[in-house]
Amino acid sequence: MSNSLKYIEVAVDLPVYGTFTYMAPDGISEGLLEGKRVVVPFGQRRTTGYALCESEYKNEYDDKEIKSISDVLDKTPLFPSSMVPFFKWISDYYIYPIGAVIKAALPGGIRSGKTKTKMESYICLSGCGTPDDKLPLSHKKVVDCLLSCEEMSLKCLKEYVPNAAKAVKALNKKGYVITSQRPVYHDPFGEEINPDIAPVPTQEQENIISSVLSCIGKGFSPFLLTGVTGSGKTEVYMKLASAAVNQGCSVLVLVPEIALISQMEKRFRARFGECVAILHSGLSSGEKFDQWSRITYKKTSIVIGARSALFAPLENIGLIVVDEEHDPSYKQEGGLRYNARDLAVVRAKLENCIVLLGSATPSVQSYQNVLSNKFNGLTLTRRIENRMLPDVDIVDLKHNRDSRGMRRFLSQKLIDGIKNTLFRDEQVLLFLNRRGFAGFPVCSVCGEAVKCKNCDITLTLHKTSNAYKCHYCGYAKEAGSGCGKCGSLAIKLIGLGTEKVEAAVKSLFPKARVARMDSDTTLRKGSVLKILKDLSEHNIDILIGTQMVAKGHDYPNITLVGIICADLSLSFPDFRACERTFQLLAQVAGRAGRGDSKGRVILQTYNPDHFTILSAKKQDYKSFYENEIIYRKELNYPPFSKMIMIRLSGKDKQRTQACAKALGKCCNDLKAGNISFQKSVIVLGPVEASISKIAGKYRWQILLKGDSFNSIHQFAEKIFFENANKICGKDVSVVIDVDPYLMM
């Protein structure tokens, strides 16, 4: 076999680990396969794969036949070769097939090959000769249009000349006009944005901008920017993005949710114009394809998006920004279970650029990275224009336990606060992180809860749709259904959700314009933007919402924030429960008083003396961290350890339990037989998951903990590759979750 033959490393689109070597087709020039989809023989079948890079010639290939690539499916690469090391890193770290990693990274329309770029014809005069005066009238009209604007699309010409297509064809044949084809991209933005004028930065902002700019172009530098809500972190991002673009670099900006993308992209488009692209799951297949194509063909230098935008095919990246870096939405909980925040740091390291994480309430992990000098710390201590942080009043809900109905949850102080705010023609935000009307419907005869038939969870009553619904699998049944155990129709509705709060508020304030923002009211495309637009234009007096309203929105006329019950997430069986609660409370409190009028927050709780509540009242992250880190260290939870969760699920309860216990025995045997693992790996479980059944599948889990990530990673690989399939087969699935976020 000659050394002149070219070998290509291919990641096949199958659940197999590692890459495979194939021979390049005849006539393929060097470098023209990388990043393209190819068809390759694999075993007894042909499958799609992704060409990664040239594979070095090895002598052992002489002893076996190397199969050839059968076909190349793409004319241009779907991703740059610079992303190949990134995909390999992800595959190794998350113990996930590299072909599946790349498939998860690409938008659906691109990886299927079904979506194509729409082309449009443009017409201009050739300049070769003067058109004949004897031209037909339609031909003359086309020429006149082109004389007035030099070039027009055929679509626009048809508005002036109905049979323009026929006229252009004749003129082109005579040499009078030239036609060309250009891509036409779907516009995902909607309304036009007026250009803005960059404000003069505050002294604090200027100091931070200078610190980061001094590192641009000098290699990998990670930063954590902490700043009180309303301190102008977005303006810092834009100033740094401008500097990176001016140096010929591209910029990636990640935000946690689609609702925040609109606000961020509008500000960036006002500053940077058409060079901004967006990527998120709310786009149609055509819109995703076009945005991806714009990035691939370098039509844009700034990409803004949710976690999947992390995989944007950018080259020569100068800056990666992760806004609201603490947000749990950055963790993907299905398929490839990656954390976009963590991978942003990895991509920045591989791209040799700056990564800036920003949050008013940073994650404990990121803040610890600053204290251990892994990240550079930056701080904004003041709001823009020296606006005051809101005053926070704590209401002890235990004093309301003898009240009836919603008065148990709407204190008199909150009711009076809403009344006074509405009198001043200002807006109110009410926060409750639970949707629906009643979260615990129970039979008043036999005491049986109304539960989901597929999940080990109580159904929630949704009055708007007149149904009990499961928030995990989507199962629903009519609200008039009787008790599943005794058949009684006497169902007592215990608990509350945003629907019940909405009904109570409308009853108390019948003249107020009330809106609700949660997963139920934002199902339709554009519904989130409509609610936020109505809020901005003061068509809403009181907005009631879940955590969707807590994140990053900037509406200066909201002067009162009411937190209905601050304790809902404190009792979760998860070591991050306090961290998530503090972040939610501090973030939603930060929506108050962002304009000229000072804000006020009324925080209702059953635990007024809990350090999480007191820290949120003061907007004091450092105080929260100092209390929280003590518990983390005592229990050896992150950031003092690394964790990998082995999750098992199956439709048969006994079979799933048996597999979990057998796999747990393998874990204990592996640890007992290896001195290194005895010292470095802690095995917890197997145990039933906190929610033991979801969508008809019973769930068990085994948690691996250790100070050394390499040790628990090696341990998990051995269990997964050497034991899991043998024990569980196809009827019980085993998933590895590296750095798990939700422990339930």
In this structure, which amino acid lies at residue 286? G
Asked whether the predicted pLDDT for residue 421 surpasses 50, the reply is yes
Asked whether the predicted pLDDT for residue 609 surpasses 90, the reply is yes
Asked whether the predicted pLDDT for residue 370 surpasses 50, the reply is yes
Helix (H, G, I), strand (E, B) or coil at 43: coil
Residue 202 Cα to chain centre, angstroms = 30
pLDDT (average), residues 398-418: 89
pLDDT tens for each residue of 694-739? 999 999 999 999 999 999 999 999 999 999 989 998 899 999 999 9
In this structure, which amino acid lies at residue 649? S
CB 267 within 8 A of CB 91: no
pLDDT (average), residues 139-157: 85
Spatial separation of the C-alpha atoms in residues 340 and 329, rounded to whole Å: 9
Largest CA distance in the chain: 97
Residue 630 Cα to chain centre, angstroms = 30
Q: How far separated are the first and last CA of the chain, in Å rounded?
A: 55
pLDDT recorded at residue 111: 60
Which of 80-89, 156-165, 266-275, 277-286 tops mean pLDDT? Answer: 80-89
Contacts of 669-674 spanning 24+ positions with Cβ under 8 A? 670/715, 670/718, 670/719, 671/715
CB 301 within 8 A of CB 275: yes
Q: Give the pair of three-digit tokens for residue 696.
A: 């008809």
Spatial separation of the C-alpha atoms in residues 255 and 16, rounded to whole Å: 32
pLDDT (average), residues 162-173: 88
pLDDT (average), residues 624-644: 95
Asked whether the domain spanning 642-738 has the same topology as the one spanning 118-184, the reply is: no
Which of 168-177, 226-235, 287-296, 369-378 tops mean pLDDT? Answer: 369-378
In this structure, which amino acid lies at residue 403? S
Confidence at 1, pLDDT banded by 50, 70, 90:
very low
Tell how strand 317-323 and strand 250-254 pair up: parallel
pLDDT recorded at residue 126: 85
Confidence at 187, pLDDT banded by 50, 70, 90:
low
Asked whether the predicted pLDDT for residue 170 surpasses 80, the reply is yes
7-112 belongs to which homologous superfamily? PriA, 3(prime) DNA-binding domain (3.40.1440.60)
CB 551 within 8 A of CB 327: yes
Spatial separation of the C-alpha atoms in residues 713 and 338, rounded to whole Å: 15
pLDDT tens for each residue of 473-490? 999 999 888 888 898 989
**Of 208 and 185, the one with more pLDDT:** 208
| Domain 203-384 class in CATH | alpha beta
Spatial separation of the C-alpha atoms in residues 39 and 37, rounded to whole Å: 7
pLDDT recorded at residue 156: 86
HEC-encoded secondary structure of 197-224: CCCCCCHHHHHHHHHHHCCCCCCCEEEE
Helix (H, G, I), strand (E, B) or coil at 352: coil
Location of structure tokens 């690394």: 642
Q: Which string of DSSP letters, residue by residue, matches 717-738?
A: HHHIIIIIHHHHTTTEEEEEEE
Spatial separation of the C-alpha atoms in residues 356 and 136, rounded to whole Å: 63
Q: In the CATH scheme, what architecture does the domain 642-738 have?
A: 2-Layer Sandwich (3.30)
What is each CA distance from 359 to 345, 417, 631, in whole angstroms? 15, 29, 23
CB 329 within 8 A of CB 276: no
Q: Which string of DSSP letters, residue by residue, matches 581-639?
A: HHHHHHHHHTTSS-SSSPPEEEEEES-TT-HHHHHHHHT-HHHHHHHHHHHHHHHT-TT
- The H or E element spanning position 442 is strand 440-443
Spatial separation of the C-alpha atoms in residues 701 and 688, rounded to whole Å: 6
Tell how strand 250-254 and strand 302-305 pair up: parallel
pLDDT (average), residues 521-545: 88
Confidence at 63, pLDDT banded by 50, 70, 90:
very low
Asked whether the predicted pLDDT for residue 2 surpasses 50, the reply is no
Asked whether the predicted pLDDT for residue 467 surpasses 70, the reply is yes
Spatial separation of the C-alpha atoms in residues 327 and 325, rounded to whole Å: 6
Confidence at 60, pLDDT banded by 50, 70, 90:
low
Which residues, listed in sequence order, are joined to residue 688 by a DSSP beta bridge?
700
Q: Give the pair of three-digit tokens for residue 158.
A: 């048809």
pLDDT (average), residues 481-504: 90
Confidence at 539, pLDDT banded by 50, 70, 90:
very high
CB 243 within 8 A of CB 251: no
563 CB-near residues (< 8 Å, 6+ apart): 431, 432, 585, 588, 589, 601, 602, 603, 604, 605
Q: Which string of DSSP letters, residue by residue, matches 662-708?
A: HHHHHHHHHHHT-HHHHHH-EEEEEEEEEEEEETTEEEEEEEEEES-
Spatial separation of the C-alpha atoms in residues 2 and 6, rounded to whole Å: 9
**Number of other residues whose CB lies within 10 A of the CB of residue 151:** 13
Tell how strand 642-650 and strand 732-738 pair up: antiparallel
Spatial separation of the C-alpha atoms in residues 652 and 155, rounded to whole Å: 60
CB 131 within 8 A of CB 139: yes
Query: Could you tell me where the DSSP H helices lie in 247-339?
Result: 258-272, 285-296
Helix (H, G, I), strand (E, B) or coil at 378: strand
> What are the extents of the domains in the chain?
7-112, 118-184, 203-384, 387-434+498-633, 438-495, 642-738
Asked whether the predicted pLDDT for residue 142 surpasses 60, the reply is yes
Residue 54 Cα to chain centre, angstroms = 33
Q: Is the preceding omega at residue 686 within 30 degrees of 0, hence cis? A: yes
CB 508 within 8 A of CB 518: no
**Number of other residues whose CB lies within 10 A of the CB of residue 657:** 17
Phi, psi values for residue 343, rounded to 5°: -70, -25
pLDDT (average), residues 226-245: 92
Confidence at 131, pLDDT banded by 50, 70, 90:
low
- Alpha-carbon radius of gyration of the chain: 29
Number of residues that this document lists for the chain? 744
Give burial (CB, 10 Å; 0-12/13-18/19+) of 548: buried
Angle at which helix 611-618 crosses helix 621-635, to 10 degrees, equals 150
pLDDT tens for each residue of 726-736? 999 889 999 99
| 118-184: CATH number | 1.10.10
Tell how strand 440-443 and strand 460-462 pair up: unpaired
Q: What's the predicted TM-score (pTM) here?
A: 0.88
Spatial separation of the C-alpha atoms in residues 315 and 298, rounded to whole Å: 9
pLDDT tens for each residue of 22-53? 988 876 654 578 999 999 999 889 999 999 98
| 387-434+498-633: CATH number | 3.40.50.300
Tell how strand 542-545 and strand 514-517 pair up: parallel
CB 361 within 8 A of CB 621: yes
In this structure, which amino acid lies at residue 706? G
Tell how strand 467-469 and strand 476-478 pair up: antiparallel
Percent of the chain with pLDDT over 90: 60
How many alpha carbons lie under 13 Å from residue 465 in its C-beta half-sphere?
13
Sheet holding 71-72, edge to edge: 20-23, 7-12, 45-55, 37-42, 71-72
Average pLDDT, the chain: 90
